[in-house]
Amino acid sequence: MQKTTLSDLSLEDLLPHRSPMMLVEKILEVDAEHAVTLCRAADSWPMVDDGGVHPLILIELAAQTAGVCNGWDRVQTKGLDSNKMGWLVGVKKAELFIDYLPLGSVIISSAENSYKFESLREVACRQHLDGRLIGSMTLQLFQA
């Protein structure tokens, strides 16, 4: 099977999300073990109020970033037309270091598989805003 490059793919090829729940704007890095994405806080996002976006959304940003690297792995090993089912996500640990995300702010989200066995992943995730750590979490992913 010929390897697919990032320029051959869209976000929709890697993630089951569609607007308005597709929160990742751009993939900065990806391989089978990690991904780094860019997300821009928008008024179309869930959990928006007058103060900005509630920081619990960082868990979804982490999950989508984890989905990017595991979607990449799926495409590379099983092909573009393989099952695009999403992952069930559990939050093992989460620390949020910001009160609200300002609308328009750019969040850099990273996810790295720290444990991988068949359809189970444990993923270490971090989010940064202007170089400052704003979120750190460990997610557990399972694909049925």
What was the pLDDT predicted at 117? 93
97 falls in which pLDDT band (50, 70, 90)?
A: very high
21 falls in which pLDDT band (50, 70, 90)?
A: confident
Beta bridge partners of 105: none
Domains of the chain by start residue, with CATH: 17-142 (3.10.129.10)
79 falls in which pLDDT band (50, 70, 90)?
A: confident
The arithmetic mean of pLDDT across residues 118-137, rounded, is 97
The number of beta carbons lying within 10 Å of the beta carbon of residue 72 is: 22
128 falls in which pLDDT band (50, 70, 90)?
A: very high
The arithmetic mean of pLDDT across residues 102-114, rounded, is 98
9 falls in which pLDDT band (50, 70, 90)?
A: confident
The number of beta carbons lying within 10 Å of the beta carbon of residue 12 is: 13
Is-cis flag, bond preceding 46, omega within 30? Answer: no
What was the pLDDT predicted at 24? 95
2 falls in which pLDDT band (50, 70, 90)?
A: low
What residues contact 18, with CB distance under 8 A and at least 6 apart? 12
What was the pLDDT predicted at 38? 98
